[in-house]
């Protein structure tokens, strides 16, 4: 390992248990030359597993036949018009995530053979983690900050999301954006908004312009987010998450064989942790609410 001022600082951090204040320096983390050279390979006609592993992001064109995508679009529109014709239940922590239960005709997109054929090239023994819909509609036009998904997941870090656009997606309608190669930094020890200054302004950003039928693959540690929806149709994307079948959080074996591994699927983090950041934040919020309520009662 390289030893230098940063390594010294980390040793001091570990020794004292006190967070050091690093100066905010732009462009502190540099992209490697090999990754930078590979970026044009991210946009592909047939899936190149080596380029995907190198970049942590791949856009594969024309994967889904037109009749399949038409069927999914119809199912989505009928779900949207019948189940949530007016306002949907918006999760304030992630306004783009659809929380309403999905009908079976769109709840199993992750079983699509054309997609499985591609993901099985990464994980021959293929496990399923989860599926959800991420939308930019009139209730969620804002940007989503840069983050990595791995800190929100359970099980191992080796996961791949497949984003399936149901509408067209581009920078104008709040399309996803990705920082290629950032998955090589691994898990960053916390969740939420990444200070993008640490790689800005030189680190290349991929903002794909995709049509229904194309798919995007992203590693679970890749830094990503999205800009605001400023024009165009509502952005509708399904996120299908896959992983090696041996991951204890796999809920279904989709390809290959499984080993007799231990499973996490019947348990939630709230059952595992006696005390955690989440429970402490919940307690602190309850305390804030209590103090606010007692202050407003005391006010004349």
- List of residues contacting ligand AKG (CB under 6 A): 94, 96-97, 134, 144, 149, 176, 224, 226
CB closer to ligand AKG out of 99 and 282: 99
Torsion sign over Cα 197, 60, 242, 157: negative
CB closer to ligand AKG out of 165 and 244: 165
Q: How far is the CB of 224 from ligand AKG (least distance, A)?
A: 6
DSSP assignment letter at 183: G
CB closer to ligand AKG out of 227 and 244: 227
Q: How far is the CB of 52 from ligand AKG (least distance, A)?
A: 18
DSSP assignment letter at 38: H
296 contact partners, CB below 8 Å, separation of at least 6? none
CB closer to ligand AKG out of 183 and 224: 224
CB closer to ligand AKG out of 181 and 225: 225
Q: How far is the CB of 168 from ligand AKG (least distance, A)?
A: 14
42 contact partners, CB below 8 Å, separation of at least 6? 51, 55, 57, 58, 59, 180, 206
CB closer to ligand AKG out of 96 and 109: 96
Residues 56, 54: Cα–Cα separation, whole Å: 6
HSE-up of residue 197 (Cα within 13 Å, Cβ side): 6
Q: How far is the CB of 244 from ligand AKG (least distance, A)?
A: 21
Residues 85, 131: Cα–Cα separation, whole Å: 22
CB closer to ligand AKG out of 226 and 245: 226
Give the 3-state secondary structure of residue 193. Answer: coil
CA distances from 17 to 12, 20, 227 (A): 8, 9, 36
Q: How far is the CB of 225 from ligand AKG (least distance, A)?
A: 6
- Burial tier of 105 (Cβ tally within 10 Å: 0-12, 13-18, 19+): middle
State the maximum Cα–Cα separation within the chain, in Å, rounded to a whole number: 70
Residue with CB nearest ligand AKG? Answer: 226
Instruction: Pick the closest to residue 36 from 243, 158, 184, 173 (CA basis).
Output: 184
Q: How far is the CB of 45 from ligand AKG (least distance, A)?
A: 25
Q: How far is the CB of 216 from ligand AKG (least distance, A)?
A: 11
């Amino acid at each position: 390992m390289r030893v230098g001022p940063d390594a010294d600082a980390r040793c001091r951090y570990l020794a004292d248990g006190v967070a050091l204040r690093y100066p905010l320096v732009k462009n502190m983390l540099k992209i490697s030359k090999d990754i930078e050279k590979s970026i044009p390979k991210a946009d592909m006609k047939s899936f190149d597993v080596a380029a995907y592993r190198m970049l942590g992001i791949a856009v594969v064109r024309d994967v889904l036949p037109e009749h399949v995508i038409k069927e999914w679009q119809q199912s989505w529109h009928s779900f949207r018009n019948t189940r949530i014709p007016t306002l949907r239940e918006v999760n304030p922590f992630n306004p783009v995530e659809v929380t309403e239960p999905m009908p079976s005709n769109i709840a199993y997109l992750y079983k699509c053979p054309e997609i499985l054929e591609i993901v099985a090239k990464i994980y021959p023994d293929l496990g399923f983690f989860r599926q959800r819909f991420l939308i930019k509609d009139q209730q969620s036009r804002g940007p989503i900050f840069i983050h990595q998904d791995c800190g929100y997941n359970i099980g191992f870090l080796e996961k791949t999301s497949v984003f399936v656009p149901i509408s067209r997606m581009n920078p104008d309608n709040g399309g996803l954006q990705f920082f290629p190669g950032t998955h090589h930094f691994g898990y960053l020890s916390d969740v939420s908004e990444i200070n993008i200054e640490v790689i800005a302004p030189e680190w290349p950003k991929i903002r794909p312009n995709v049509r229904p039928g194309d798919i995007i693959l992203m590693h679970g540690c890749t830094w990503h987010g999205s800009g605001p929806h400023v024009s165009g149709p509502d952005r509708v994307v399904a996120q299908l998450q896959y992983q090696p079948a041996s991951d204890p959080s796999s809920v279904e074996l989709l390809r290959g064989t499984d080993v007799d591994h231990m499973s996490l699927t019947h348990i939630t983090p709230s059952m595992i942790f006696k005390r955690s950041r989440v429970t402490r934040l919940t307690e602190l919020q309850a305390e804030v609410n209590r103090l606010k309520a007692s202050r407003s009662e005391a006010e004349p």
